[in-house]
Copies of this chain bind each other. A is one copy, B any other.
């Protein structure tokens, strides 16, 4: 039975399992260090925290950058999963509700772990080539893909076809048709545009809040402000009828 593993490595083969567990522990410890001690992740600290010596870590990651890459990949995966889960829990036909769910989930992800959020969406480190790999691929890609796939239902229904602002120039039409990240299946230009307005609005709020630039606003007021921000984005994406100017 067990010998069937020799054929193709389907069965994780005990040794691989413990190795995988170690890798998980390394990543978890590294993330904790990242949260506590900031961006200057010390390889020696991770080892010490795990009751090991520093050189042992090189059996698992040849480079510090490689570890960071792994953390980024995990982060993007988890964020995208979280977004997808939040959207799956919402009504498929309720565009406004789905927008809210996505926005809330995005914000929560950033709030829950600013260090990881920064790792994913912060400044790409020059000389750290892996970032651009991730930004072009998993980063905005995974996020956009999660958003797009989760909103696909309403997109296909044409609910999102009329964003509030449609005065985009000629470059956008061709752009929307051609240069979308690979993960994002082709969607109508208007919906594509609306998605990006949404992303900008949510991302901006999430960044400001997670990086402590709104700390002078009370939690309650911040929540209310975010609610208003969501309504604004719902409006921008055409999920609500433009309300009459309440005067």
A205 contacts B208, C-beta separation under 8 Å: no
**Across-interface contacts of A90 in B (CB, < 8 A):** none
Task: Confirm or deny: A191 has a beta carbon within 8 angstroms of a beta carbon on chain B.
Answer: no
Instruction: Please list the residues of chain A having a beta carbon within 8 angstroms of any beta carbon in chain B.
Output: 35-40, 114-115, 117-118, 121-128, 131-132, 135-136, 139-140, 162, 164-169, 171-172, 174-176, 179-181, 193, 196-197, 199-208, 210-218, 220-221, 223-225, 227-229, 231-232, 235-236, 241-247
Choice from B168, B212, B224 contacting A225 with Cβ under 8 Å: B168
Given contacts A123-B114, A135-B212, A135-B215, contact A242 B245 (CB under 8 A): yes
Q: Is the CB of A172 within 8 A of B224?
A: yes
Rounded to whole angstroms, the CA-CA distance of A172 and B37 in the bound complex is: 34
Query: What CA separation (Å) do A8 and B172 show in the bound complex?
Result: 61
Using Cβ atoms and an 8 Å threshold, which residues of chain B touch A136? 215-216
Known: A121-B208, A162-B246, A204-B205. 4 other contacts (CB 8 A): A37-B127, A165-B229, A172-B224, A180-B216
